[in-house]
Structure 1
Amino acid sequence: MFRSLLLAATCLAPLPALSQGLAGPYLSARIAGFNNDYEAAGASYADLVEQGETTPQILENALIIYSVLGDFDSAVDVADILTQDGQPSQFAASARMVVALRDGDLATARDLLDDGGIAGPLLDGLLDGWILAEEGDIEGALAAFDALADQEAFTPFGLRHKAYLLAMTGDMEQADEIMSGRSGDGLLNATARGIAAHGQVMAQLGRRDDALELVTKANDATSSALLRDMQARLQGDDDVPFDLIRTPQDGMAEAYFIFAALLAGDSSATFTLLNARAASALRPDHVEALVLIAQLLEQQDQLDLAAMVLDAVPSEDPAFYEAEIARADILLATNDDDAAVQALRSLTDSDGDKVEVWAALADALRRLDRFDESASAYDRAIEMLAEVTERNWLLFYARGIARERLDDWPGAERDFRRALELNPGNPNVLNYLGYGLVEQRIKLDEALDMIEQAVEARPNDGFIADSLAWVLYRLGRYEEAVEPMERAVMLTPLDPLINDHLGDVLWAVDRKREARFQWRRALSLDPQEQEDRIRRKLEVGLDVVLEEEGGVGPIEAVD
């Protein structure tokens, strides 16, 4: 919805109606808005507003852009212009609400809710409860959350926030009744923040062992820096206060965050981003909101802006290392490789006791083809595992890839087989191991069986189809190799190696003109490592190249 409105707002105002001085900023804003370049769009809209632009559609779009950037004060300034001109605005109320809640202007916030609300019954209902709490009407707030919970679609949200309010005001027993499901209203949906809140409540009730059991089970099933930090504190002697919601304004921020998290993936990224920004504006230390904002910006290729958001995560926060890992991924995506590696190496100094940090460094080095350093980092990560479980298969698989690229096939094969023990039937591991066995000319029957299993599990994967065709080709079963190789090219038409392989298969079945066409196509796709070999095949044919390489015909297994 917001995406279409955003585009409409940039397109509705006809360019000829603008003065010469406004045409440039308008066009820049229009292009930037279309490309989700929020910073550039914001700067252009600022120029338009400063020069006195009053076109409603343009001002509405400026309001959206400012909100998405988290600049709700500028959004309200634009909303004031629209109001002065008697123009309605769908987004003005949203911006005004954030500023009113942030500044403690409860009268304005109440008026906005009473005058049609801002985003529907869920968010409006949660905000209603927290506004009442901020006003000191705790009973009224609890009743508001009960009223929301009476609506079947919103029951878990109303109950969760009621429990948060009870815990915030010190009524841990009642909060625990709701969070545990013993109140008779049913169990709440499990979220990392909800589990953390329940663990804090149980700790405050003197049930530290129960809290530890709850948090430990959650950590066994998921990955959350918040919960891992809580588990460590519960295992030690640290106090575990209830601080997930410290004030009614924290509750308001949580309402916006929950709303944004619900929208993520099912609604406009712009609409989701606006609500996540609201959560951050009301509670700047809401790290999960910052991470969500960064993820949404990254999905829209706003990488610099995403990295800037992650820079705001406090270094003392339990999730800091996760935010830094995400920031390093963004730096790699922008080809700032040295900065990415430096950020991760710095983490090994500050958070070197965490497996995830060493795994992230290893992954980054592997992506940069620095396989020796990568394998060493994977070694460190695996050595740190207190217990190897099925969740660790990826570490062994990734280290196997690094070792294979270092020509350490025995080590790579051990890692791939260990990964399969932990995650039986994984098509990626089956494919990589099977392909590697073929290239090593060993255990060919097993290799073929592995790749056939991978194809069955993932029939529309072009790389796996290529592996099946290539093992058949390497076994001398040329006619059988044609169909899966042609299918591999159909599934992954722009991969140079797969196109090169198809050329070899076609040559083997005496379709030489088609083979040469396929090699030329592979050359056009920037084959890099294969380029010289492809050019030589085009010059003298595959048979001569194979003779020059010392091998002709199908391979045989070797010991």
Structure 2
Amino acid sequence: MQPPMMFLARLALVGVLVGAAALSGPAVAQDLSLRGTAGAFLSSRVAVSNGDFAQMAANHDRLLQADPENPGFLELSMQGHLLAGNFDRAVDRAAQIMARGDGSNVAALVMQADAFNRGEYDVALAALDDGARTGPLTDPMARAWAELGKGSMSDALGAFDTVIAQREELAPFALYFKALALAFVGDLERAEALLTGEAEGPIGLSRRGVIAHISILSQLGRMQDALELTDAMFGVNPDEDVAYLRAALQEGRAIPFETITSARDGMAETYFTLASALPSERGDWLPLIYARLTLALRPEHGDAILLAGQLLERAEQYALADAVYESMAEDHPQYLGAQLGKANALSRSGDTAQAIESLRALTRAKPDSVLVFSALGDMLRREEDFAEAEAAYATALDLLDTVEERHWVLIYTRAITLERLDDWERAEPEFRRALEFVPEEPQVLNYLGYSLIDKGLKLDEALDMIERAVEAEPDSGYIVDSLGWAFYRLGRYEEAVPVMERAVELMPTDPILNDHLGDVYWAVGREREARFQWRRALSFAPHPDLDTDLVRRKIEDGKNPPDAVTSTQ
């Protein structure tokens, strides 16, 4: 269940403000007076550009020694410390910024989180009354949670209800937080009614919201309803962090309500909702800021640990990601997810061999884990160790009592490894099994259709598959390339030209697509343009699937179009 787009659009405005504050930097006019810190200044620019948060904080701390009142240095020092996980240092900087009256949204957020962390709810309310603004959702939710923290449930409900009545785009989230607050104070019936979406209006439930609903149903003694909701949302073979809940329900044991256990947890849940709802793009620090604030208030928040680790991986801050994953307690239901995250971060940092060994160790420690064997298969496949990858995928599938729709990716990736092993007799049924669950999935349609055409099998069906894939994802360069290459292989060269040109337009620096366009041009007699495209392909090399020697021979001698494939079915 996804957040309303209107809500995300409004949140994007907050991101613009934060981004502008983060990237504006210190006044250049002061640079000449900082000759002794020139190195730190230049390093700070590089750290900001690269998202090196620890270095960003350290360099701006050095710059502040020479220019303690510089607003840009203060802001970037604060954000660097926060993003690197040094919350206390970020609070110190935020206090300096707020004392100056600089109007930083991030500083106000940090001070808000600090007030909740200390249980100083009057301070949080006073900041709101004084005009400190943090965002369209965090401001009203902070008021509600602070009133709850003070013991005034009526005022808290009034704050939630004001948002529900006046802010249509925020209402689903305010309803969710209101339900959590009611469950926290023991009003489970009203909380459950809200979570159904039938009491006061539609409510957007995340994965955590569904688990909260399951817990509340079990606390009400409605074990069968709780079990049915679990199976409907997570399947009868859920991942390990949900499997223990299902086992408890089958045994008739109520699941403790732990989604929030205090007003501080409620504010942490608000920050986490934002962290997970905002789109995470490289260079956009706002989701990670909210994830770090979540962990500052609730360090054991498993979902926030996993999200912060993933965001740090995307920022290529692998040491910080590893530290976040390492903070997950061994007895936490999501500990395995953190260990898989550590392995992925290790691989992305360049130490793939050690990452694979860590996953092999996990398979020995967790021999019944579908997740572990699937992750091992993915990593081995990326390393083109297809035989070992296929064995890992096969083990993962064998561990499933029931194969469900959500397992289609596992089936699909196993099919890919079989195809790469030239075992088409076993690969094709696996591709088709994946399509039984997701008949219009463009990735599966594209891979199967392309493979069939390449082998001269079931050509009409294969071309239909690729055309459906293009219809579903018309802006995917790889999928459009498949259609163009299918026309080429079928001898329909004129039809291939505009399609392949569109593919290269979508992915202009991909060597394979440029090579394919060269082949298509040559087939229709556009020899000069063909050689130009082949030279472009070489300029973007290397690529594991590009035979550079063959491309050079084509530039010298040209290329005879292949005989059009004909069906061998």
TM-score w.r.t. the length of structure 2 is 0.86
Structure 2 partner of 1:5: 21
TM-superposed CA distance for 1:417, in Å, is 2.2
Q: Select between 307-316 and 275-284 the one with higher mean Cα deviation.
A: 307-316
Aligned to 1:341: 356
The answer to whether structure 1 residue 173 and structure 2 residue 189 are counterparts is yes
CA gap 1:409/1:48 in 2 versus in 1, 3 angstroms: same
Alignment match of 2:145 (pick from 111, 130, 147): 130
Counterpart of 2:317 (choices 292, 297, 302) is: 302
Q: CA deviation at 1:318?
A: 2.0
Hey, what does 1:161 align to over in structure 2? 177
Shift of 1:34: 3.2
User: What residue in structure 1 maps to residue 533 of structure 2?
Assistant: 518
- Structure 1 partner of 2:6: none
Residue 249 of structure 2: aligned partner: 234
Establish whether residue 32 from structure 1 lines up as the match of residue 47 from structure 2: yes
- The answer for the alignment partner of 2:478 in structure 1 is 463
- Do the aligned partners of residues 15 and 479 (structure 1) sit closer, same or farther apart at CA in structure 2, a change above 3 Å counting? same
- Relative to structure 1, the CA distance from residue 221 to residue 524 in structure 2 (aligned partners, 3 Å threshold; closer, same or farther) is farther
Cross-structure match for 1:78? 93
* CA displacement at 1:404 relative to structure 2: 1.3
Residue type matched to 1:33 in 2? V
Contact 2:443–2:469 (CA<8 Å) still a contact in 1? Answer: yes
- Relative to structure 1, is the Cα distance of residues 542 and 275 closer, same or farther in structure 2, using a 3 angstrom cutoff? closer
> How many Å separate the matches in 2 of 1:156 and 1:131?
20
Distance 1:501 1:162 in 2: 57
Q: Is the contact between residue 294 and residue 301 of structure 2 (CA under 8 Å) also seen in structure 1?
A: yes
Say if 2:205 is the partner of 1:190.
yes
Give 2:376's match in structure 1, choosing from 333, 349, 361. Answer: 361
Partner of 1:532: 549
193-202 or 122-131, which deviates more: 122-131
Q: Is the 8 A contact 1:269 1:296 kept in 2?
A: no
Q: Separation in 2 of the partners of 1:47 and 1:33?
A: 15
Q: 1:192 touches 1:226 (CA, 8 Å); kept in 2?
A: no
Tell whether 2:508 aligns with 1:493: yes
Q: Deviations over 1:302-349 (max 9, x none)?
A: 344333322222232222223333343333332221232233323323
Q: Within 2, Cα distance between the matches of 1:68 and 1:365?
A: 32
Task: Call closer, same or farther: CA 1:197–1:62 in 2, change over 3 Å.
Answer: same
Contact 1:375 1:402 in 2 (8 A): yes
1:382 aligns with 2:397: yes
Q: Which amino acid aligns with 1:172?
A: L
Q: Is the 8 A contact 1:70 1:278 kept in 2?
A: no
- Cα contact 2:457–2:568 (8 A) shared by 1: yes
Asked if the contact 2:216/2:257 (under 8 Å) is kept, the reply is yes
Kindly report which structure 2 residues correspond to 1:386-401, keeping only aligned pairs within 5 A, or say none.
386-401=401-416
Identify unmatched segments of 5+ residues in structure 1.
547-551
1:145 pairs with one of 152, 160, 175? 160
Pairwise CA distance, 1:368: 0.9
**Secondary structure class of the residue paired with 1:269:** coil
Quote the Cα distance in structure 1 between the aligned partners of 2:173 and 2:495: 57
* CA deviation profile, 1:87-128 (whole Å, cap 9, x unmatched): 665544332232232123344334323322442463233223
1:420 alignment partner in structure 2: 435
Partners of 1:299 and 1:106 in 2: CA distance: 35
CA distance in 1, matches of 2:507, 2:104: 47
Number of residue pairs matched? 550
User: What CA distance in whole angstroms lies between the structure 1 residues aligned with 2:312 and 2:150?
Assistant: 35
Question: By how many angstroms is 1:364 displaced?
Answer: 1.4
* Structure 2 CA distance for partners of 1:222 and 1:72, relative to 1, 3 Å: farther
Question: Structure 2 vs 1, CA of residues 393 and 303 (structure 1 numbering), >3 Å: closer, same or farther?
Answer: same
Matched with 1:431 is 446
Stretch deviating more after TM superposition (464-473 or 392-401): 464-473
Cα shift at 1:6: 0.9
1:111 to 121, 126, 129: 126
For residues 504 and 150 of structure 1, what CA distance do their matches in structure 2 show? Answer: 62
What code does the residue aligned with 1:169 have?
Answer: V
Segment of structure 1 superposing worse, 413-422 or 127-136: 127-136
For 2:197 and 2:462, how far apart are their aligned partners in 1?
51
> 1:549 matched to which residue of 2?
none
Aligned equivalents of 2:153, 2:471: Cα separation in 1:
59
* Counterpart in the other structure of 1:316: 331
Q: Partner of 1:442 in structure 2?
A: 457
Distance 1:267 1:371 in 2: 31
Paired residues of 1:168 and 1:247 also in contact (CA < 8 A)? yes
Distance 1:32 1:476 in 2: 52
Letter of the aligned partner of 1:178 in structure 2?
Answer: L
Q: Which protein is bigger by CA-based radius of gyration? A: 1
The aligned counterpart of 2:269 is 254
Amino acid of the structure 2 residue aligned with 1:404: E
User: Could you list the per-position Cα deviations for residues 270-301 of structure 1 after superposition, in whole angstroms to 9, with x for gaps in the alignment?
Assistant: 33332322111111011222233233334444
Aligned counterpart in structure 1 of residue 36 of structure 2, from 12, 21, 25: 21
Q: Does 1:372 align with 2:387?
A: yes
CA apart distance, 1:371: 0.3
Q: Which moved more, 1:189-198 or 1:300-309?
A: 300-309
- Which residue does 2:229 correspond to in 1? 214
The one-letter amino acid of 1:442's match is: L
CA-to-partner distance for each residue in 1:336-365, whole Å, 9 max, x for gaps?
Answer: 212322333233234443333322221111
Cα deviation code 1:421-476 (max 9, x no counterpart): 33224333233223223333333444344334434444443333433343443344
Letter in 1 for 2:227: L
Q: What code does the residue aligned with 2:424 have? A: W
Residues 276, 518 of structure 1: alpha-carbon distance in 2 compared, 3 angstrom cutoff? closer
Q: Distance in 2 between matches of 1:419 and 1:262?
A: 29
C-alpha separation in 1, matches of 2:439 and 2:217? 38
Report sequence identity in percent: 42
Shift in alpha-carbon separation, 1:171–1:367, aligned structure 2, 3 A: same
Using the size of structure 1 for normalisation, the TM-score is 0.87
CA deviation after TM superposition for structure 1 residue 2, in Å: 0.9
Contact map agreement 2:47 2:56 (CA 8 A) in 1? yes
- The CA distance in 1 between the partners of 2:236 and 2:324, in whole Å, is 28
AA aligned opposite 1:195: V
2:137 partner SS: helix
